[in-house]
Amino acid sequence: MSKDPKARKTAALATPTDLGANATRDLTGGLNILLADVVALYWKTKNFHW
């Protein structure tokens, strides 16, 4: 493992997976949409005053 922060930042993750590149991209896109919806719902309920 490199001590250089720039080298660690650009290094690829060595996580074993059975997913292809397209499946990973599609899954990431779906999770980003879901996360955006969850954050929007959180802020709407947090800012709601009884």
Structural domain boundaries of the chain?
22-49
pLDDT above 90: percentage of residues in the chain: 40
Q: How far is CA 40 from CA 17, 27, 33, 45, in A?
A: 31, 20, 11, 9
The whole-chain average pLDDT of the chain stands at 83
pLDDT at position 35 over 90: yes
Tell me the helix, strand and coil percentages in the chain, rounded to 5. Answer: 65, 0, 35
CB within 8 A of 27, min separation 6: which ones?
A: 19
16 versus 50: which is more confidently predicted?
A: 16
State residue 14's pLDDT score. 76
The whole-model pTM stands at 0.59
